[in-house]
Structure 1
Amino acid sequence: MSQSRYTFWVLILAVGIAGVSQGLTIPMLTVLLEKQGVSSVMNGLNAAALYIGMVMVNPFLEIPLRRIGYRSTILWGLLLVTIATALIPMFSHLAVWFVLRLLMGVGDSGLHYASQMWVTKIAAPENRGRDLSIYGLAYGVGFSIGPLGLSVLHLGIWVPFGGLLVLYLIAFLLLSRIKNEFPAQIEQTEKKQNKYAFVLRLAWLALIPSFLYGFMETSLNGSFPVYALRTGLSVEWVSLILPSFVVGSIILQMPLGALSDRVGRKQVMLVCALVGGLAFFLFPFAGENVWLMMLLLAIAGAAVGSFYSLGLAFSADILPASMVPTAGIIAGVNFGVASILAPNVNGLLMDVWEPWTIFWLMGSLLIVFAAACLFFKQKATQEQTYSMPLQKQG
């Protein structure tokens, strides 16, 4: 196995572990706070702390990435997540959990951003969609496993969180054995302009999926447990229903990535947005039929569960390689902003209107994105005003 492929598979394992962490902590803390009698609005605000941390640090992640490299940025992020995870079971106060989730968001953001950019860098252009879909698949598998930790909560809060700490240790050991690398440096030509404006002008459509995925993921994992408990579903059913979205995305993650390599990212995302939007619109009609809920969430997950990786691959197709880390920053901010908005908007909807409106909101957002795909025209690559020199190694 070549060094780059070994690095790729270590990154895949690391992001899978990160998926387990988020898939467990988000619904578990939501359920614990709901049982404490915390309002859905305050519960949503506490869940948003993870993403507030992401938004706070995301604009600055490109600096350490370019200075200390991919591996070092991942390790620092993993260290912060480990510290926060170890401290969560020691406290039960709302304010303390807010701070720890904030810290976890900072660490998660660094880990995901650096690993995504590293995978994008080492992936061959003709297989970029496939490799990024494997990355998304690993995260999805981990995220689907995470909520199962709710079923062992009765054994004590240290049981699921102790398991996470063991997984973090494995990730530390594997990451410490791979060679550090650095992204391509930026060179501005005579026509200087703001790099963020440049990326947004060329790749605005490719950056929307990160917002949509963040909104959907947090709506389901942060707001659905509250929706379920208020409609009479047990915590045990929540632990089974929630993973169905991710399981659906796992089924089509790689096929959609490979298909996008052949027919184009935009075409694939357009069809997937329509299918996912329809599934969310139909969800309220499932009533109390748990199996129909699982089916509709699985269909939605199969359609749009790979949106983040497809959007990132699309931006790498459109932009110069040296600008992809900047696109990753914007995508991360979009994900974080959406994840902050989702639990708060959904909490407000559930308090002042009907709980099922959160699904119609997600469906509407996907339909609007599908319409945007019809109007997007990719600009010629000659417009690129940044060039990519030789890659720096270290």
Structure 2
Amino acid sequence: MRWGTYFAVLASVLSVGLALGMSMPLVSLRLEGWGYGAFAIGVMAAMPAVGVLLGAGMASRLAARFGTAALMRGCLAGGALAIGLLALLPSYPVWVALRLVIGSILTILFVLGESWINQLAVDRWRGRLVALYGSSYALSQLAGPLLLGVLGTERDYGFWLATALLLAAPLLLLGRTGAPAAEASRVTFSALFGFCRQLPMIAWAIALFAGFEALILTLLPVYCLQQGFSTSVALYMVSTVVVGDALLQLPIGALADRVSRHGLFLGCAISLMVVSLLVPLVIHSVLIWPLWVLFGASAGGLFTLSLVLIGERFRDDELVRANAHVAQLWGAGCLIGPLLAGAGSQWVSGHALPWMMAAGAFVLVLLARARPAACAVAD
């Protein structure tokens, strides 16, 4: 086990989480301040998802050509440039294009980083090591809104700090080895459909969590503002959800090494469904704070367990392609989630965001209960 490489890859990916945790809410709050409606903000939030779909298909081919470590360093530098341009070019159409670019290049980084971590992890520690990745990434996103609350949203400090982090991160990957071998192949949507047929429960869980994360960082601050909370309280609520995501990932990962993964999946899905239904009922009560914690924990558990099962099943190029499918599903969830929630919030109900998460969790419960067909990976 190459522990130094593991933590170097982990830290480089965490820098991205911190950068996105600052820049994504800042973009949404700026658009809100400029007078854009929930649907326009949802369109902006969906642009990185389109980039995810583009980047996922190129990850394996580019990694075979340039090498995993070199490509990850290039993606970090490209992400820094794109986020810096958000500060320099404050225009809705330009931001749409930049968010598309950010989605594409950072997707390649996530595909390779998650593959590298899963390749390094030994089987008996896989659940805990993958959970540490998920928990740390969630904490990095938590720190983003907290830092943004300290820096303020009136100026561009959040954009510039995110840029600096992404410029420093490539230094961590210099001289690192043990990355999965990749072949020069393109990941197609037909192959994605095969992946979904093979592992439908995992596929839906990934897409659901992707939609969850996109909504939390983009539309949840707006949802909280619309419910009458101040900007600072809205950002603290976002941070509380991410705290919940981070808090239980390590216990879930430890349990994944000892008990039925299917049971854990089902428990997380039921919890997410119930909590989502309760959010509109207690949004103005003190009970909303522990509920936000459970909201994040149950959703985050779904993604952690998905990565554990994928890492157990695949190696090398198959692992890279499987994580590329994860990225494609992530892109689909990030694309559809904000669009549906933004449209629903503007034209149907102000509580469309939690209701949509409840509906998605209900579908996952149905898939989890149909165990032989929906869970193709043995516990």
1:248 alignment partner AA: G
Paired residue for 2:265, among 269, 272, 278? 269
State the match for 1:13 in structure 2. 11
1:316 shift after superposition: 2.8
Q: Between Structure 1 and Structure 2, whose CA radius of gyration is higher? A: 1
Alignment of 1:344-355 (within 5 A): 344-355=339-350
1:318 shift after superposition: 3.7
Alignment of 1:26-45 (within 5 A): 26-45=24-43
1:144 equivalent in alignment to 2:148 = no
- Decide whether the 8 Å contact of 2:249 with 2:301 is kept in 1: yes
Paired residue for 1:279, among 251, 263, 275? 275
State the match for 2:158 in structure 1. 160
Alignment of 1:355-370 (within 5 A): 355-370=350-365
- Decide whether the 8 Å contact of 1:65 with 1:182 is kept in 2: no
Classify the secondary structure of the residue corresponding to 2:257: helix
Distance in 1 separating the partners of 2:339 and 2:197: 30
Q: CA 1:45–1:197 in 2, change beyond 3 Å: closer, same or farther?
A: closer
Return 5+ residue gaps in structure 2 as ranges: 185-189
1:61 shift after superposition: 1.2
1:229 shift after superposition: 1.8
State the match for 1:330 in structure 2. 325
- Decide whether the 8 Å contact of 2:72 with 2:108 is kept in 1: yes
1:150 shift after superposition: 3.1
1:259 alignment partner AA: L
- Decide whether the 8 Å contact of 1:184 with 1:322 is kept in 2: yes
2:232 alignment partner AA: E
Which deviates further from its counterpart, 314-323 or 335-344? 314-323
Q: Percent of pairs identical after alignment?
A: 23
1:62 shift after superposition: 1.6
Distance in 1 separating the partners of 2:91 and 2:161: 22
Taking only aligned residues, the RMSD between alpha carbons, in angstroms, comes to 2.2
2:126 alignment partner AA: R
- TM-score normalised over the length of structure 1: 0.88
- Decide whether the 8 Å contact of 1:133 with 1:254 is kept in 2: yes
1:214 shift after superposition: 0.7
Which deviates further from its counterpart, 6-15 or 195-204? 195-204
- Decide whether the 8 Å contact of 2:37 with 2:346 is kept in 1: no
1:104 alignment partner AA: I
- Decide whether the 8 Å contact of 1:79 with 1:107 is kept in 2: no
- Decide whether the 8 Å contact of 2:249 with 2:304 is kept in 1: no
Q: CA 1:8–1:319 in 2, change beyond 3 Å: closer, same or farther?
A: closer
Distance in 2 separating the partners of 1:234 and 1:318: 46
Paired residue for 1:304, among 289, 299, 304? 299
State the match for 1:226 in structure 2. 222
1:66 shift after superposition: 3.1
Count of residue correspondences: 372
Q: CA 1:123–1:28 in 2, change beyond 3 Å: closer, same or farther?
A: same
1:162 shift after superposition: 2.3
- Decide whether the 8 Å contact of 2:55 with 2:105 is kept in 1: no
State the match for 1:387 in structure 2. none
State the match for 1:392 in structure 2. none
- Decide whether the 8 Å contact of 2:269 with 2:365 is kept in 1: yes
Return 5+ residue gaps in structure 1 as ranges: 187-193, 382-394
1:212 equivalent in alignment to 2:208 = yes
String of CA shifts for 1:305-332, please: whole Å, max 9, x gaps.
Answer: 1322311211233446542222211111
State the match for 2:62 in structure 1. 64
State the match for 1:170 in structure 2. 168
